[in-house]
Copies of this chain bind each other. A is one copy, B any other.
């Protein structure tokens, strides 16, 4: 009857309180079948009275399951990653899984691929965000003793959730073409991979092939590296504007590079949408404020879907393979018809 503020209640306390064995308590509390309804009610009632919560370390040790999902990402602070993480966290919380987060510096990534990770014995499954492991890396991931889901990159050897970057870039291209642009530039990033499935390469491929389909060639001097940063986008835009025959429209492969382009335009006294058309990619939360037209991707949904795919695997489901999330173009006025020459 007396409050015992120290030492949380154990399963034995509950068993005693309910007048059953600890085995029965364990079964009753986890909705295990074959427990008489009356018994179950008694146990739940006793557990509630004692504010009993099973010690996760003990149950994990005994059962062998960790009830924890590991999440590895290169940076946590980008808008994209934090949104994905939030989606994963939501689902994990709903499904009563813990989320263990690790930062994926190159070494951590390599260790992960080798199976010797900080996650060892700590997690039931792993979600990789924007780690870019390529198909070769995916094959090594598939050998791991825990299921893995990769987010942001479409893969075959392991389950993945991604967007169709080729189609997304084509969407941007078609929008600019429809407005009448022909001198169209791209601000993107150089990739170390030849793989068309990585982000810069596939957006680049989708964009240039859409131009090509319309009979417009992507001139080599219209391709500038923006490093996927705001500052890089700014510099890239300046270099494009310094050309003898500058473009009338720019596709920035990310909204953040697009912000840099906006900065460059402002520095030159140019008005976006009139003197220069600009379209981004992502739908960053700031894009609405600055009026940036963009190809929107459902970032939080990517995180949620990834978590659901992984939890499905953990529950013995079959592989979901590649999931492609939908893209939509949002016109905010940063694009317009090309200015008269």
Name A's B-contacting residues (CB within 8 A): 5-6, 8, 51, 53, 55-58, 60-61, 66, 75-77, 79, 81-83, 85-86, 89-90, 93, 98-103, 116, 118, 120-122, 145, 230-231, 234, 259-260, 262-263, 266, 285-286, 288-291, 300
Asked if A101 contacts B101 (CB within 8 A), the reply is: yes
CB-based nearest B residue for A5: B145
> Given A82-B77, A290-B290, are A121 and B230 also a contact pair (CB < 8 Å)?
no
CB-based nearest B residue for A263: B289
CB A29 to nearest CB in B, in angstroms, measures 15
Q: In the complex, A77 Cα to B300 Cα: how many Å? A: 10
Asked if A93 contacts B100 (CB within 8 A), the reply is: no
- 8 Å CB contact of A289 from B89, B145, B230, B285: B230
Contacts of A53 in B (CB 8 A): 120-121
Contacts of A98 in B (CB 8 A): 100, 122
Contacts of A121 in B (CB 8 A): 8, 53, 55-57
> Given A57-B66, A100-B99, A103-B90, are A120 and B8 also a contact pair (CB < 8 Å)?
yes
Asked if B103 contacts A259 (CB within 8 A), the reply is: no
Contacts of A291 in B (CB 8 A): 263, 266
